[in-house]
Amino acid sequence: MAKLVGGVDELGRPIVRVDVPGHDGFLAVVDTGFNGSLMLQRSEATTQGFLGNKRLAVVELGTTAQVVVEKATGSISWLGRELRVEALISNQPAPIQRPDTARALIGTELLADCLLLVDFATRVVEIETQA
């Protein structure tokens, strides 16, 4: 079984690092209210080699507001294997420029067949395959 270990950041968010073949990778918040795979800011998507191709979609936020995002395809290293994934790309400006801050979301589509453990007390996050 493969396991990915992350932590709970100073803002109380479960965070893991996502590796991207040939790129630096990025920090992402594990968002169990997101039923897609990945969401990235445009600048992060470009840096990580995610290719958008003029495909648009409407998604619904927790406020029930609907927003338009672009869709892109890219590769990540995920739990021991390389995976082609769909990513939603936000055209909103990234308000936080610190390099150590998560600017992406991981959704439940990537967590299918996994056990997700978030221990807020010890600030540990674990994602483990269940095969």
Q: How far apart are the first and last CA of the chain?
A: 7
**How far, in Å, CA of 10 to CA of 26, rounded?**
17
Q: What SS3 state is found at 30?
A: strand
**How far, in Å, CA of 70 to CA of 56, rounded?**
4
From 1, 5, 61, 117, residue interacting with another protein (rule: CB under 8 A): 61
From 47, 71, 116, 128, residue interacting with another protein (rule: CB under 8 A): 71
From 9, 19, 47, 59, residue interacting with another protein (rule: CB under 8 A): 59
User: Least distance to another protein from the beta carbon of 112, Å?
Assistant: 12
From 14, 38, 42, 127, residue interacting with another protein (rule: CB under 8 A): 42
Applying CB under 8 A, the span of 10-18, 64-72, 96-104, 123-131 interacting with another protein comes to 64-72
CA-based nearest residue to 70, from 98, 44, 43, 39: 39
- For position 56 contacting another protein by CB under 8 A, the verdict is yes
- Give the count of alpha carbons within 13 A of 72, CB side only: 25
Q: Which residues bind another protein (CB under 8 A)?
A: 31, 33-36, 39, 42-43, 53-62, 64, 66, 68, 70-71, 73, 84-86, 88, 91-93, 105, 107
